[in-house]
Amino acid sequence: MSILDAPSARVGTDSGRQQKYAQFPDGTKIGRRMRYTVGRQGSGCDVICDGVADDVEINAALLFLHNHNNFTGWALEFSDESFYIASSILRQAYVSMFGQGARATQFIAAAGLAGGMQKLVPGAIQFLNDSSYRMVGGSAGAPTNAGCFAMQFVAQPLAAQGNAGGLWNSSFSDIQIDFFDNGIQSIGTLDNSALLPQQFVNFIDVDVNVEGTTGYALDMRGQHGQVTFDSCTLQNRVSTNRVGTIARHGRSTDTVFPGNVTFKNKCTFQNARRAIDVYGASQVHVDDNWFENLAESVRLDGGGVGHVVERNRFANAGSVGDGSGYLLYMGNAVGAEFGGNTILGAFDEIAIGSNVLYFYPRPNTISGTALVGRSSGITKQLAAATSDTLITGHTEFPAVQCSATQINNISCEMLPNQELTIRLIANGGQTTQAFGNSGNIDLGGRASPLTVSAGALVTFKVSDLIARRLILKSVSTG
């Protein structure tokens, strides 16, 4: 008997084993495992799909389990290695979906799909714990439905729940998304008119490969909190010419923004113009990830604070060849920390900013090369043509343009025994930089002026807290 044949089934408890079951009018009990199986014809599963419009059977099963088994832990288990043709799959609270692996259980987008394949019904959708399936939007270079998302999680109010809604306390793991124009969209309330957050949500080992150059692997807007992406891949599958944006958080037209969003443990961003684009969001943590083949890695704008970008690996992740690339941009009263990163390959700027509220850089390992004629935005030579002082409120000079003006002072906020390393780069025809000891620079017994060629690394050590005298430690080729 199919569970869908008996809408009057009730939920009970086997008193001897304390396990849940569904009991049908004829007395049949099924589901002591807390999962109902879904399969194709001949599989003997609880729910049978025919491979035509499988979302009909899937949605009926999800609704049935939600209505009759309204507590955490119930799930549809797609038990056989097969594919399912689906339009919109409507996610109900408390009911998860399990497959047999990304290459075994596949949901294929039907033609005519609008918006997204997976969607939220109104109300607070809680305790979805999905794993081990693949969502397929078409074929390589040819999504079946233009502009669609694989997962379109838009919070919707439900009057019976006090107009609350959104996705809560849920996780998605070991899921692959291929051949859609867009990957995951998550939208909470945009104007505080209702309690519609997306909160306590984890994406673990989710691999998103979008097509084209105008879509997003991740589009997050509105009220969010405690959202984590762990060991995920977010990329444009075909855009090796570095156009488009991979992950977007907030827009300038919104009044409510995401907060406390984390990317960690080797998340991979590659093949786009920009990897992470944040506007208005706060406490976006980007920790221990991989950025590659990008013009702009992380852009923080719109006034959010508490951002941390640390321990990441950037490989050719800040240049598109026109001099406008960067690893980190900060604008419009943003506050951020940046440190412990490994920077490889070409980049135009390491970090640049406009109207920055605060910026706390820490040492980074830099073996890449800033493009000729560009200085690092983390710290840069200020008024070099008219002043002999290099000024920074930070702890590191990854790249400084050579100037004809001798540098006698370095104004910084470093602590005693901390080291400051300057990478000199050519500035047009100026290929050397002179350092003198008439200010707070101590050349360590070397003759003044000391002339150093572009490409060299010049390292100083801070000797005391009051005068912050900088003693030359070494000069080496870059």
Q: For residue range 292-330, what is the model confidence (pLDDT) as tens digits?
A: 999 999 999 998 889 999 999 999 998 877 778 889 998
Specify the range with the lowest mean pLDDT, choosing from 4-18, 102-116, 274-288, 442-456.
4-18
Q: State yes or no: pLDDT of 375 exceeds 70.
A: no
Find the mean pLDDT for residues 357-386. 53
**pLDDT at position 24, please?**
44
**pLDDT at position 384, please?**
34
Taking the C-alpha atoms of residue 221 and residue 188, their distance in angstroms, rounded to an integer, is 6
Give domain limits for the chain: 1-72, 73-370, 389-477
**Each residue of 51-69: pLDDT tens digit?**
899 999 999 999 988 887 6
Q: State yes or no: pLDDT of 27 exceeds 60.
A: no
Confidence of residue 25 (pLDDT cuts 50, 70, 90): very low
Q: What pTM did the predictor assign?
A: 0.75
Is domain 73-370 classified as CATH 2.160.20.10?
yes
**pLDDT at position 12, please?**
43
**Each residue of 193-248: pLDDT tens digit?**
777 889 999 999 999 999 876 789 999 999 999 999 999 999 987 655 566 888 99
Q: Taking all residues of the chain, what is their mean pLDDT, rounded to a whole number? A: 82
Arch. (CATH architecture) of 389-477: Sandwich (2.60)
Nearest to 222 by CA among 263, 202, 183, 194: 194
Residue at 377: amino acid letter: G
**Each residue of 66-86: pLDDT tens digit?**
887 655 568 899 987 789 999
Q: How far apart are the first and last CA of the chain?
A: 73
Could you tell me what percent of the chain has a pLDDT over 70?
82
